[in-house]
């Protein structure tokens, strides 16, 4: 062990000792978390449903837990913040059961990669009504369609939201804040966490990747290097998560033209604002507006910060009407959003407790570990490692770049998981369970045996059952439908969801009545917020 390695280990051990303290340890049982699950509404034949957003769900613009993502057929189901994993997953289960009360013969797609798709132009944009906010959301999605194609936007994911309790941040700040405000201290530490998580992001892509294959309608008229598995399926033999590759949300345009810095909150905001204000010639050719119709919000590299596709994001909760990046800059980081998770098609919710426990362990480990700043070389290696694992992750001899050092995926994966063991034990001690260590053991088994991973299991089942990707995902989709439908919600829960639907429709109506500003002026005011940030 070098002197630097010894110093870093001592720092990690000191932080672990502090977190084991009687004031900190109980607070680790109160991690704030939430899940956002995206899913497509599909027909019994596995085709994209082209019907409007189901009426019983209320307003997708204003509902707190049932909305849509890109297209009208793409639901996003959201849990409130929970400090208990079971509570969070139980609520997500209830949302699914309520959705199914009015779906008719439609079902919720089980996989991240989409069902049988119509042509690109037939995929319906999500429509949010006549308010300025609603028009902004639809215009933004229209821009995404022009920039990346509507087909790509039908990919679905699980987003996991994470934050430590305020009480714990206050203790850590009082001891090690070194003259910083609590807000600055917390944001700095969250960015340290995110830098480490990005370095290790290839690992959850390997462990939870569940998109090694796609239906041929997804790659229609697109260049790719996939092999044909059957008449309807294309795949890569050792792939883990095509969703996280250049066929999905790691767009070549963003990888080549945008460099968002994670070294500090100020750098993060500044580089995002720069991308939102910098014109991009191919988007300029599309144009922002044709006649009276907006094609996109702007012709810049990014229309808004939400267009930045990445593995983890800094998040806050801006008041209504407040610019997100202004609030993030002035109020600091409130929580983190992990965005690299595929839906597990074998699970009705797409995620389970074991995955959540592993994510909590990895995120806390990333906070406790020393976090080197990211220069160009390290940022490049982060992207290259993820790309390699996306396409060749189940090759145990695959070489990855660990800060300039070549390591096999098996060696680095086992080393990383072993280093996380004390953190899993810490969380188990805090929660009075063995679930974090149990999950860590499961992940070690997957690193030792690539054929036990989700991606390998999917391909093996497709071949054994002689099913195309779409047929495989549809079989799980219909099984999940039965799982939810045979457990009707209690009347009290039904009544609560019905009230939320009514309240959401009322809120949308009030928005549409109260809007007095012309949409051109409204959009100009939103763009001015970014220019004000750049000038500040």
Model confidence at 255, pLDDT cuts 50, 70, 90, reads low
Could you give the number of structural domains in the chain? 1
Nearest to 484 by CA among 77, 121, 34: 77
Q: What is the mean pLDDT of residues 468-479?
A: 98
Q: What is the mean pLDDT of residues 520-526?
A: 96
pLDDT of residue 251: 58
Q: What is the mean pLDDT of residues 363-367?
A: 98
Answer for the pair 203, 416: CB distance below 8 angstroms, yes or no.
yes
Check whether 3 has a pLDDT greater than 80.
no
Q: How many whole angstroms from its chain centre is CA 484?
A: 24
Q: What is the mean pLDDT of residues 80-85?
A: 97
CA pair distance 43, 109, nearest whole angstrom: 9
Nearest to 469 by CA among 217, 253, 252: 217
- Measured at the CA of 426, the angle between CA 421 and CA 428, to 5 degrees, comes to 95
pLDDT of residue 250: 53
Nearest to 276 by CA among 310, 253, 299, 292: 299
pLDDT of residue 130: 95
- The percentage of the chain sitting over the pLDDT mark of 70, rounded to a whole number, equals 98
pLDDT of residue 256: 65
CA pair distance 93, 114, nearest whole angstrom: 22
Report the range of poorest mean pLDDT among 139-143, 256-260, 454-458, 484-488: 256-260
pLDDT of residue 177: 67
Tokens encoding 417: 């998981």
Answer for the pair 250, 387: CB distance below 8 angstroms, yes or no.
yes
Report the range of poorest mean pLDDT among 8-22, 157-171, 246-260: 246-260
Check whether 5 has a pLDDT greater than 80.
no
Q: What is the mean pLDDT of residues 259-282?
A: 93
Residue 219, SS3? coil
Answer for the pair 134, 521: CB distance below 8 angstroms, yes or no.
no
Model confidence at 513, pLDDT cuts 50, 70, 90, reads very high
Answer for the pair 69, 148: CB distance below 8 angstroms, yes or no.
no
pTM over 0.85: yes
pLDDT of residue 10: 84
pLDDT of residue 81: 97
pLDDT in tens, 477-486: 999 999 999 9
CA pair distance 66, 80, nearest whole angstrom: 11
Q: How many whole angstroms from its chain centre is CA 67?
A: 15
| Residues facing residue 338 across a β-bridge | 160, 312
Say how many C-beta atoms besides its own lie within 10 A of residue 188's C-beta: 17
Q: What is the mean pLDDT of residues 284-313?
A: 94
Q: What is the mean pLDDT of residues 204-218?
A: 97
Report the range of poorest mean pLDDT among 7-21, 31-45, 469-483: 7-21
Answer for the pair 371, 192: CB distance below 8 angstroms, yes or no.
yes
The domain in which residue 173 lies consists of 3-535
Check whether 174 has a pLDDT greater than 70.
yes
pLDDT mean across residues, the chain? 95
CA pair distance 316, 418, nearest whole angstrom: 33
The residue among 251 and 373 whose pLDDT is bigger is 373
Q: What is the mean pLDDT of residues 408-415?
A: 97
pLDDT in tens, 300-354: 999 999 999 899 999 999 988 899 999 999 999 999 999 999 999 999 999 999 9
Check whether 431 has a pLDDT greater than 90.
yes
Check whether 359 has a pLDDT greater than 80.
yes
Check whether 530 has a pLDDT greater than 90.
yes
Tokens encoding 447: 């690193």
pLDDT of residue 258: 75
pLDDT of residue 248: 74
Answer for the pair 120, 313: CB distance below 8 angstroms, yes or no.
no
Nearest to 348 by CA among 159, 483, 210: 483
pLDDT of residue 106: 98
CATH number for the domain harbouring residue 70? 3.30.590.20
Check whether 253 has a pLDDT greater than 80.
no
CA pair distance 100, 122, nearest whole angstrom: 25
CA pair distance 205, 386, nearest whole angstrom: 7
């Amino acid at each position: 062990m070098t002197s630097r390695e010894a110093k870093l280990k001592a720092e990690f051990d000191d932080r672990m000792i502090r977190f084991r303290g009687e004031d900190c340890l109980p607070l680790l049982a109160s991690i704030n978390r939430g899940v956002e699950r995206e899913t497509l509404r599909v027909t019994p034949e596995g085709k994209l449903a082209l019907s409007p957003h189901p009426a019983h769900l209320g307003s997708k613009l204003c509902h707190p837990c049932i909305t849509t993502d890109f297209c009208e057929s793409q639901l996003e189901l959201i849990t409130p913040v929970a400090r208990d994993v079971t509570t969070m997953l139980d609520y997500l289960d209830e949302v699914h059961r309520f959705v199914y009360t009015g779906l008719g013969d439609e079902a919720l797609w089980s996989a991240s990669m989409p069902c049988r798709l119509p042509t690109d132009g037939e995929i319906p944009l999500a429509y949010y009504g006549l308010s300025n906010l609603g028009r902004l959301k639809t215009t933004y999605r229209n821009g995404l369609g022009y920039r990346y194609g509507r087909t790509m936007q039908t990919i679905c994911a699980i987003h996991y939201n994470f934050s430590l309790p305020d009480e714990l941040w206050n203790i850590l700040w009082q001891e090690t804040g070194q003259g910083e405000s609590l807000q600055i201290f917390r944001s700095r530490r969250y960015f340290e966490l995110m830098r480490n998580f990005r370095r290790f992001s290839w690992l959850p892509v390997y462990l939870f990747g569940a998109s090694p294959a796609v239906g041929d309608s997804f790659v229609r008229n697109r260049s790719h290097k996939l092999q044909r598995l059957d008449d309807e399926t294309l795949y890569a033999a050792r792939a883990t998560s095509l969703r996280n590759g250049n066929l999905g949300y790691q767009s070549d345009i963003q990888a080549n033209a945008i460099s968002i810095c994670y070294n500090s909150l100020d750098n993060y905001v500044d580089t995002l604002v720069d991308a939102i204000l910098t014109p991009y010639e191919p988007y300029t050719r599309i144009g922002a507006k044709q006649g009276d119709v907006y094609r996109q919000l702007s012709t810049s590299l990014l229309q808004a910060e939400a267009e930045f596709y990445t593995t983890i994001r800094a998040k806050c909760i801006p008041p209504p009407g407040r610019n997100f990046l202004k609030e993030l800059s002035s109020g600091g980081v409130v929580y983190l959003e992990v965005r690299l998770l595929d839906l597990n098609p074998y699970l009705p919710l797409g995620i389970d407790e074991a995955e959540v426990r592993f994510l909590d362990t990895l995120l806390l480990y990333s906070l406790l570990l020393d976090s080197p700043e990211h220069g160009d070389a390290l940022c490049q290696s982060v992207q290259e490692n993820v790309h390699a694992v996306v396409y060749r992750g189940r090759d145990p001899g695959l070489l990855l770049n660990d800060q300039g050092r070549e390591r096999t995926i098996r060696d680095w994966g086992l080393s990383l998981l072993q280093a996380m063991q004390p953190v899993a034990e810490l969380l188990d001690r805090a929660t009075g369970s063995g679930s974090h260590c149990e999950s860590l053991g499961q992940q070690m088994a997957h690193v030792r045996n690539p054929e036990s991973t989700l991606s390998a299991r999917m391909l093996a089942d497709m071949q054994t059952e002689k099913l195309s990707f779409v047929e495989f995902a549809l079989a799980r989709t219909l099984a999940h439908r039965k799982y939810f439908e045979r457990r009707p919600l209690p009347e009290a829960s039904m009544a609560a969801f019905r009230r939320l639907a009514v309240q959401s429709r009322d809120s949308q109506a009030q928005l549409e009545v109260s809007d007095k500003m012309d949409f051109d002026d409204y959009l100009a005011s939103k763009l001015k917020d970014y220019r004000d940030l750049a000038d500040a």
